[in-house]
Amino acid sequence: MAVAEQGGRKLAGAVSINVSRTLALADLKSALAAGWADYRAAPQFGLFFAGIYVAAGLALAWALVTQAAVAWLVPAAAGFPLLAPFCAVGLYDVSRRREAGLPLPWGGVLASLKGRGDEQILSMGVIIFVAFGFWLMIAHAIFAIFQSGSGTDSLEFLFSSTGIAMLIFGSVVGALMALGFYAVTVVSLPMLVDRDVDFMTAIITSLSCMRANARLLLIWAVLIAATLFVAMLPAFLGLLVALPVLGHATWHLYRRLVA
């Protein structure tokens, strides 16, 4: 494999990566089963990373409610799953270590959040948080446009016919944004944990996987979105199981997609 180096980092486009084009429903089932097995084998890591995510969600919801910022509550809840892939980085490393038969020290797993001694995963994290912030601005703008002239408060407006129309329109816009974001991250983050490549190579590979296996990865996206939505309903507590299992499963799906 021909590789160009710049400061120890492989350059985008310099690495030939084989992308599977034969992903099947059986692979999704196998990935979920392997994800559940990883969670059961090392639940402390799943509960730790998911716990941070749940605590952040509860803190965000509490802050918005106490500040009477209901207008931000719905878009924040809708966009919150965008942050899940970055929270799952440590889970990818747990699955990687179990697959390779390596020990699972807390220090080593936590160190995976920094990537391979560079800023590639940090760069992806910045992209993720910027995307979340951009979604909040778009969603708030949609809210403001629909609510203007309604003469009702935020909570009452959400249950009006105009408010319902706004939620439908916002959901379509949000789904399109989430799909693009999903295509960029579904393979790139586990790949940055697994391989010494730059984040642009990882993003390009993720998009290639999406193009080669569009139907199956769309099914996976819908499954993730539906599971996270349902898991968020009981005060985010369902995420303590759903997020780790999906995180581990995404690792195993990545391993089936990228040779």
- Closest listed residue to residue 199, CA positions, set 252, 130, 122, 131: 122
- Closest listed residue to residue 162, CA positions, set 177, 145, 175, 179: 145
* Assigned token pair, 15: 């690495």
Task: State the Cα–Cα distance between residues 138 and 130, nearest whole angstrom.
Answer: 12
Residue 7 maps to a domain? no
Domain tally for the chain?
1
pLDDT 10s per residue in the chain (259 long)?
Answer: 333 333 344 444 445 578 888 889 999 999 999 999 999 999 999 999 999 888 877 877 776 667 656 556 666 666 666 677 777 889 999 999 999 999 999 998 988 887 766 678 878 878 878 887 888 788 878 877 887 766 665 667 667 777 788 878 888 888 888 888 889 999 999 999 998 888 899 999 999 999 999 999 999 999 998 898 888 887 788 999 999 999 999 999 999 999 7
Residue 8 maps to a domain? no
Residue 225 maps to a domain? yes
* Residue 258 falls in which region: left (phi positive, over 0), alpha (psi -120 to 50) or beta: beta
Residue 205 maps to a domain? yes
Task: State the Cα–Cα distance between residues 231 and 240, nearest whole angstrom.
Answer: 8
Domain ranges, residue 148: 24-257
pTM for the full predicted model: 0.81
Residue 62 maps to a domain? yes
Residue 2 maps to a domain? no
Q: What angle do CA 78, 252, 254 make, to 5 degrees?
A: 75
Residue 15 maps to a domain? no
Residue 82 maps to a domain? yes
